[in-house]
Structure 1
Amino acid sequence: MNTYAVTLPHYSVGPDVFDHLEFVARFYGRKAAVVGGATALEKAGPSLRAGLEKAGMTVTDWFVYGENATNAAVDRILESPGCREADVIFGVGGGRAIDTVKTASDILKKPFFSVPTVASNCAPVSAIAVIYNEDGSLSHYHFTERCAEHCFINTAVILDSPRKLFWAGIGDALSKQCEALLSSRGQDLGHTPLLGVQVAQVCEGPLLRYGREALDDFEAGRLSDAFAQTVLDIIISTGIASNLLTTEKDYYYNSSIAHCFYNASMVLPTIHAHLHGEVVSFGVLVLQAVDGNDEALERLARFNRSVALPTTLYELDITEEAQVDALVERATTLREWHCVPYEMTKERFKEAILKVDALGRSLKTNA
């Protein structure tokens, strides 16, 4: 066998997480660079600065990473004297900000600490980053040697984020369980991916149980248990599963048809008005249709309806058959197209998309 390492995240969660900086980050060094999104730094900045000061750490640089996780944004961090001088680097913001800082930290071989200011995906703890081209299309995945050394989940800051990002985060997290199960089906799994599949199977249930209540609490500004459980599902449960299910070369059970649908949809200009998790949540339904799981398809479609996630193509601004055909054609070129235990065909994929759309329209009619 080959020698390999698996890194899993440490994390703190709650409204006062930066008090933990004194007991965590300082053991990696005393100099910190902080890079993130503009709004994220504005909202998390004061309490993060106070935590760094309490921990006896100095800030070598503090700046906005840009607007998207691109190679150019990564290069700006690599070229920053303050980041090169720092002992540790903090990434603050949403998934794209964190993926940018995560990638640069990995290249610089600096310990990375994540501070998610939204609960929209597992980027804060996963050991993979998604890098985009300047036009918004997918460029490549960057696999890091380690995940974040620690993730500071400030629930008070997340509660002050846009509701639509939390909503879309629920949609994205719904994909972890079904994609892990489908992509690994029939495989002779070794210890690490086998463990990952088991972790993935605790991702769907809490979302169905707490998701609607968590959204209500979010709107009311309540730091409730339902809200915290949903945040942890979106960021931690899916992230740990991701780290166990993915390697750069040996295996990839982290994704399948749901993200194939999302990545393929990027060829449609109109889709860029929609959030990642929003589109992925429709892809989850397509996965169930592809796999012939009618019971799961209807159950998840009804959940989507209950929280206003899409169940029809119209809700994603896909209104013409030519758009579906372009999406299907693009899907065949993607890695996720092959993350199924059977041969995929264009016909099967298109039929599944149209089946979901028909079900969604039926649910709306009968609501």
Structure 2
Amino acid sequence: MTKRYTVSFPNYTIGEEAYDKIREICPRYGKTVVVIGGREGVEAAQEKMVKAVEGVGLEFTGFIHASGQTTRKAIARIANDSAVAEADMIFAVGGGKVIDTAKAVAHTVNKPYFTFPTVAGSCAASASIATVYEPDGRFREYLYSIVPPVHVFICTRILVHAPVEVLRRGIGDTMAKFYEAQIASRGKTLCHRDGMGIALSKMCAEPLYAYGAQALEDNRQHRASLAFEETVLAVIITSGLVSNLAAPEYNGHIAHALFVELGNLSAREQCRQHGGLVAYGILLLLLCDGQVEEFERFFRFCRRIGLPTCRKDIGAGEDDIHRVFQATEKKQDVRIMPYKITQSVLLDAARKLETYHKNHQ
């Protein structure tokens, strides 16, 4: 039994004028702010931010661009910037990698941070974990923390103009949280924290089955609809809460392990898109687990919204898949999974997937 653990929750605001809440929430944490973000994200959000803090005593110490990969070097460079030293709090603005960089900086300098996602491609804006990469884009490690953002400001007016492909990837990544959590926790006696995370993981799938396709269409038409809002909340908030609550092994195993290994291939950029690779991993996972009906349901959904349903869709050759499955087997945590998934089991699932894909063209 654990002697003690702490769980902290991020608050959030969603809506077309979400930034208006800055003036009410942030001043209690200090008087100076540094903004860390991608160039496009800062350009999209800066005017709204500046307007939101008018007359409330908040001053900006600087706007630091953190474009590119979330690397150890980038985190250290920004953490030592004078604008960060002079700030009482950090505003993280942009996509997942940029927010992870700012988040890691906040953890390094021990300052409160607030997130302003400009795309809905992952749960980075609400999760306390940060993903770190090598400069060439290969996965390096996860930086774990129990400190989530103080508040997440989700401006749907900005998000609805983001590329549709990003939201599509976010949907695939989010749905993995449900399938991985349900399988990995099977037969386990869960503590309160893990149990809450596993129970909540269902909300990483059902709302997306219900609203995901319509949300993508509304994204194309730049409509901040109910379907778009519900989908964004599942991707950014629900998925992040599952990450913060449930132990990492419950919400990041086979499908995410496959993503890491596939992302390390020398294939074209298509093969580095997180949600797309994870969706392929979910299909294999469901076949390995013998969930035929759920596999068929998820396959149809992937087809409907444009997520990959075969090896060709992820830009990987047969030799690539063999290497990926070998590496995935070595990394599998057999203490968590209810059974061991070997490379031969994965290869069998991959063959079944190719056959099913061919028969349902």
1:280 equivalent to 2:278? Answer: yes
Provide the TM-score with structure 1 as the length reference: 0.94
Partner of 1:361: 358
Alignment gaps of 5+ in structure 1: none
Q: Aligned residue pairs: how many?
A: 359
CA pair 336-88 structure 1, distance change in 2 beyond 3 A: farther
**Deviation larger for 153-162 or 266-275:** 266-275
The equivalent residue for 1:99 is 100
Shift of 1:338: 6.2
Give, in whole Å, the separation in 2 of the partners of 1:335 and 1:25. 42
Instruction: Please give the alpha-carbon distance, in whole angstroms, between the structure 2 residues aligned to 1:138 and 1:225.
Output: 35
After TM superposition, the structure 1 = structure 2 runs for residues 46-85 of structure 1, keeping only pairs within 5 Å, are 46-85=47-86
Partner of 2:323: 326
Q: 2:252 aligns with which of 240, 250, 255?
A: 255
Preserved CA contact (<8 Å) 1:177 1:201: yes
Find the aligned partners of 1:141 and 1:334 in 2 and give their Cα distance.
Answer: 15
- Deviation string for 1:144-196 (max 9, x for gaps)? 23101000000011011111101111111111111111111122211100011
Q: Once the 2 structures are TM-superposed, how far is the Cα of residue 118 of structure 1 from its aligned partner?
A: 0.2
1:217-232 matches, cutoff 5 A? 217-232=218-233
The runs of 4+ residues in structure 1 deviating greater than 2 Å are 52-56, 271-274, 332-339
The Cα shift of 1:64 comes to 0.6
Farther off after superposition, 161-170 or 51-60: 51-60
In the aligned structure 2, how far is the partner of 1:142 from the partner of 1:163? Answer: 28
Q: Supply the distance in 1 between the matched residues of 2:238 and 2:127 (Cα, whole angstroms).
A: 10
Q: Does 1:270 align with 2:267?
A: yes
Question: What CA distance in whole angstroms lies between the structure 2 residues aligned with 1:327 and 1:103?
Answer: 29
Are the counterparts in 2 of residues 65 and 76 from structure 1 also a CA contact under 8 Å? no
CA-CA distance at 1:271 after TM superposition: 5.2
Checking the alignment, whether the CA contact within 8 Å between 1:182 and 1:256 is kept in structure 2 is no
Q: CA deviation at 1:345?
A: 1.1
User: Do the aligned partners of 1:200 and 1:241 also contact (CA within 8 Å) in 2?
Assistant: yes
Query: Helix, strand or coil for the counterpart of 1:201?
Result: helix
Conserved 8 A contact 1:260-1:336: no
Equivalent pair of 1:78/1:104 in contact (CA under 8 Å): yes
Q: Aligned partners of 1:82 and 1:171: how far apart in 2?
A: 37
2:254–2:328: 8 Å Cα contact kept in structure 1?
no
- CA-based RMSD of the aligned residues comes to 1.4
Q: Secondary structure at the match of 1:24?
A: helix
Residue 337 of structure 1 deviates from its aligned partner by: 7.2
Q: Which residue pairs with 1:184 in the alignment?
A: 185
> Residues 106-156 of structure 1: CA distance to partner in whole angstroms, max 9, x if unpaired?
111000101000001101001111001112111111012310100000001
Give the counterpart letter for 2:21 in structure 1. H
How far apart are the structure 1 equivalents of 2:243 and 2:58?
A: 31
Secondary structure, counterpart of 1:194 in structure 2: helix
CA apart distance, 1:336: 5.9
Structural mapping, 1:77-156, within 5 Å: 77-156=78-157
Give the secondary-structure state (helix, strand or coil) at the position aligned to 2:294. helix
Q: Whole-Å Cα distance in 1 between the matches of residues 109 and 269 of structure 2?
A: 32
Q: Secondary structure at the match of 1:212?
A: helix
Name the residue aligned to 1:304: 302
Is the alpha carbon distance of 1:64 and 1:323 closer, same or farther for their aligned partners in structure 2, counting shifts above 3 Å?
same
Cα distance in structure 1, aligned partners of 2:27 and 2:182: 39
Whether the 8 Å contact between 2:254 and 2:332 is mirrored in structure 1 is no
Match of 1:289 in 2: 287
Task: Out of 5-14 and 177-186, give the one that drifted further.
Answer: 177-186
Return the alpha-carbon distance in structure 2 between the equivalents of residues 293 and 4 of structure 1: 35
Deviates more, 1:44-53 or 1:91-100: 44-53
State the one-letter code of the partner of 1:223: A
2: CA distance between counterparts of 1:230 and 1:246?
24
CA deviation map 1:5-59 (0-9, x unaligned): 1011100001111110111111111100000111111111111121133432100
Go from structure 1 to structure 2 and tell me whether the alpha carbon gap of 1:219 and 1:54 turns closer, same or farther (over 3 Å shift). Answer: farther
For residue 154 of structure 2, what is the amino acid of its counterpart? I
Using the size of structure 2 for normalisation, the TM-score is: 0.96
Q: 2:314 aligns with which of 308, 313, 316?
A: 316
Contact 1:66 1:73 in 2 (8 A): no
Change (3 A) 1:116 1:335: farther
Residue 14 of structure 2 aligns to a residue whose secondary structure is strand
In 1, distance between residues paired with 2:327 and 2:264?
A: 7
* SS of aligned partner of 1:332: helix
Aligned residue type for 1:159: V
Which consecutive unaligned segments of at least 5 residues does structure 2 have? none
- Distance in structure 1 (CA, Å) of the matches to 2:155 and 2:335: 38
Distance 1:337 1:94 in 2: 33
Residues 283 and 226 of structure 1: CA distance in aligned 2, closer, same or farther (over 3 Å)? same
Shift, 1:77, TM fit? 1.4
Work out the CA distance in 2 between the residues paired with 1:23 and 1:337.
Answer: 48
* In 2: Cα distance, 1:140 partner to 1:335 partner: 16
Task: Tell me if structure 2 keeps the 8 A contact 1:267–1:326.
Answer: no
Matched residue SS, 1:269: coil
Q: Which moved more, 1:63-72 or 1:93-102?
A: 63-72
Report the residue type matching 2:289 in the other structure: D
